[in-house]
């Protein structure tokens, strides 16, 4: 991980230790890959991290022993061979740890049962909101997300140069994904959504072998990963000149997004941002056609907290990275969604996404 400097991980470890202090436990057990990477810098797909006030253990199996030593110099790496849990148990035998918090919203019940048996007499205590450690981004994280956004923006610009009637959705999606990889993406952030014509009414419509036709709307939802961090962008374009209904619905969605962007700033409840966009769409008569939340947090996961949703009680903080993605979906006709990635600031937000938002129409002559 190129952004993984010692100060970078040290700040994340400090947050984790503050969290375990507030939770009143002796240690924090981290199983989820994204949380494990956040506090240790280790990018492998398996392993257990245990954060205490004084030391951080990283237990891995044979496949990752050397990688863990290289990527997590601030951790005491436990070489677990075939059984990382046994290595962790051995390291804790002489310790005074009696209470261990774990990710209640992630670790399966069966795994908790096994861990309780092996880590006894220490008590395992379920803790909510461990993921919340990652909600506010630091400078290194913002740099990685910005790079992921740049890659996706450039790939979209390239895709516009080849998008045309007669191309299949799968062919267009492949062009977009290959362009992101050529531009430096480690991988795509999620399965690309590319849906044309009536299928654009599917918010998560995966690309098919359907051939796109002149006069249709096409929705593209895509993202890149750079240094482990994700971007997430949606644009809707018209193949040939857009008709009056397409333009009207597009303009409503764009107005809703602009209202939400103007509402975002530190201290504003997430639900108020959602409500600001939802009100614009409802006043235009399309309230029932906007059925998902306005957006979500973005980072090591493409979907993380907080959510811009009617039920979200969290308050925005400077440094949070969010998507803002209102949409209108009309079964049998099609849909429009526009999505940007933004950083919350004290008095507003910085929009990272630079892909143009004016409704793009393509000549078919």
Beta strand 99-103 with 76-79: parallel, antiparallel or unpaired?
unpaired
Domain-terminating residue out of 100, 133, 166: 133
Asked if residue 155 is part of any domain, the answer here is: yes
End-to-end CA distance of the chain: 47
CB 43 within 8 A of CB 300: no
- Residue in the block written with tokens 């970078």: 8
DSSP class per residue in 146-209:
HHHHHHHHHHHHHHHHH--TT-BHHHHHHHHHHHHHHTT-SEESSPPEEEEGGGGGSTT-B--S
pLDDT at 191 over 70: yes
Domain end among 83, 105, 133: 133
**296 lies in a domain?**
yes
365 within domain boundaries: no
Q: Mean of the pLDDT values across residues 183-209? A: 97
Residue 359 lies in a domain: no
Q: Are residues 129 and 146 in the same domain?
A: no
For residue 52, the domain's CATH number is 3.40.350.10
pLDDT digit string (tens) for 223-246? 999 999 999 999 999 998 899 999
> Residue 80: pLDDT band by 50, 70, 90 thresholds?
confident
| CATH value at residue 246 | 3.90.230.10
Clarify whether residues 168 and 71 are in a common domain: no
- Please give the pLDDT value at position 364: 53
- Asked if the model's pLDDT at residue 150 lies above 60, the reply is yes
Is 188 found in the same domain as 145?
yes
Distance CA 64, CA 128 (A): 28
pLDDT digits (tens, 9 = 90+) for 12-71: 999 999 999 999 999 999 999 999 999 999 999 999 999 999 999 999 999 999 999 999
Number of independent structural domains in the chain: 2
> What is the reported pTM?
0.94
- pLDDT exceeds 80 at position 5: no
**Taking 50 as the threshold, does the pLDDT of residue 3 lie above it?**
no
- 362, part of any domain: no
Q: Which pLDDT score is estimated for 4?
A: 45
- Cβ(207)–Cβ(194) below 8 Å: yes
Q: Residue 104 has which token pair?
A: 């209640």
Retrieve residue 354's tokens: 């630079």
Among 104, 107, 65, 60, residue whose Cα is nearest residue 85: 60
What's the angle, vertex CA 301, arms to CA 300 and CA 307, rounded to 5?
Answer: 120
Residue 363 maps to a domain: no
- Pair (160, 55) in one structural domain: no
Task: Indicate if 85 and 177 belong to the same structural domain.
Answer: no
- Residue 331 backbone phi and psi in degrees, to 5: -55, 135
Q: How far apart are CA 188 and CA 220, in angstroms?
A: 13
Does one domain contain both 191 and 163?
Answer: yes
What is the distance between the alpha carbons of residues 17 and 10, in angstroms, rounded to a whole number? 10
Q: For the purposes of burial, counting CB atoms within 10 Å of the CB of 20, is it exposed (0-12), middle (13-18) or buried (19 or more)?
A: buried
Question: In the 8-state DSSP scheme, what is residue 130?
Answer: G
Q: What is the pLDDT of residues 327-364, one digit of tens each?
A: 999 999 999 999 999 999 999 999 999 999 999 876 55
pLDDT of residue 7: 54
Write out the two tokens for 132. 């919340």
User: Would residue 279 count as lying in a domain?
Assistant: yes
d(CA 11, CA 21): 15
Could you tell me if 188 and 318 lie in one domain? yes
Over residues 307-332, the pLDDT tens digits come to 999 999 999 999 999 999 999 999 99
Does 50 share its domain with 157? no
Q: Which of 115, 133, 151 is the last residue of a domain?
A: 133
Q: Which two tokens stand for residue 158?
A: 């390239």
Q: Does one domain contain both 196 and 310?
A: yes
Sign of CA dihedral 294, 298, 302, 304: negative
Give the range of the structural domain holding residue 33, as residue numbers without chain letter: 6-133
Residue 196 covered by a domain: yes
Statement to judge: residues 146 and 257 lie in one domain? yes
Q: What pLDDT is attached to residue 363?
A: 57
Tell me: pLDDT of 85 over 70. Answer: yes
* Average pLDDT along the chain: 95
Task: Work out the percent of the chain whose per-residue pLDDT is above 90.
Answer: 93
Task: Yes or no: say if 256 and 344 are a contact pair by the CB < 8 Å rule.
Answer: no
Whether residue 210 sits in one domain with residue 119: no
162 with 69, same domain? no
Question: What is residue 362's predicted lDDT score, i.e. its pLDDT?
Answer: 64
């Amino acid at each position: 991980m190129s952004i993984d400097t010692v100060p970078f991980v040290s700040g994340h470890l400090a947050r984790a230790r503050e969290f375990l202090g507030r939770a009143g436990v002796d240690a924090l057990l981290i199983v989820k890959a994204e949380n494990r990477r956040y506090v240790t810098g280790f990018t492998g797909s398996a392993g257990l991290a245990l954060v205490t006030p004084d030391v951080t253990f990283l237990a891995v199996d044979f496949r990752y022993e050397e990688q863990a030593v290289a990527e997590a110099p601030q951790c005491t790496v436990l070489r677990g061979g075939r059984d990382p849990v046994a290595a962790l148990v051995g390291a804790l035998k002489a310790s005074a740890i009696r209470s261990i918090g774990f990710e209640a919203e992630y670790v399966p019940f069966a795994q908790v049962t096994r861990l309780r048996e092996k880590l006894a007499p220490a008590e395992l205590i379920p803790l909510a909101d461990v993921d919340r450690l990652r909600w506010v981004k630091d400078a290194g994280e913002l740099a990685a997300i910005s790079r992921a956004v740049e890659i996706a923006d450039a790939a979209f610009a390239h895709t516009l140069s080849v998008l045309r009637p007669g191309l299949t959705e799968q062919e267009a999606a492949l062009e977009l994904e290959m362009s992101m990889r050529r531009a430096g993406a480690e991988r795509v952030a999620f399965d690309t959504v590319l849906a044309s014509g009536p299928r654009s009414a599917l918010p998560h419509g995966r690309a098919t072998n359907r051939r796109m036709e002149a006069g249709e709307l096409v929705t593209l939802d895509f993202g890149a990963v750079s240094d482990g961090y994700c971007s997430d962008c949606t644009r809707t374009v018209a193949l040939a000149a857009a008709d009056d209904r397409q333009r009207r619905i597009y303009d409503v969605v764009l107005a809703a997004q602009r209202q939400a962007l103007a509402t975002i700033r530190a201290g504003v409840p997430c639900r108020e941002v959602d409500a600001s966009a939802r009100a614009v769409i409802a006043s235009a008569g399309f309230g029932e056609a906007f059925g998902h939340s306005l957006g979500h947090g973005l980072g090591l996961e493409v979907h993380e907290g907080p959510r811009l949703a009617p039920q979200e009680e969290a308050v925005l903080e400077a440094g949070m990275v969010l998507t803002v993605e209102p949409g209108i979906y009309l079964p049998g006709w099609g849909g429009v969604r526009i999505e940007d990635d933004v950083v919350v600031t004290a008095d507003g937000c910085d929009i990272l996404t630079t892909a143009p938002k004016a409704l793009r129409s393509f000549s078919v002559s």
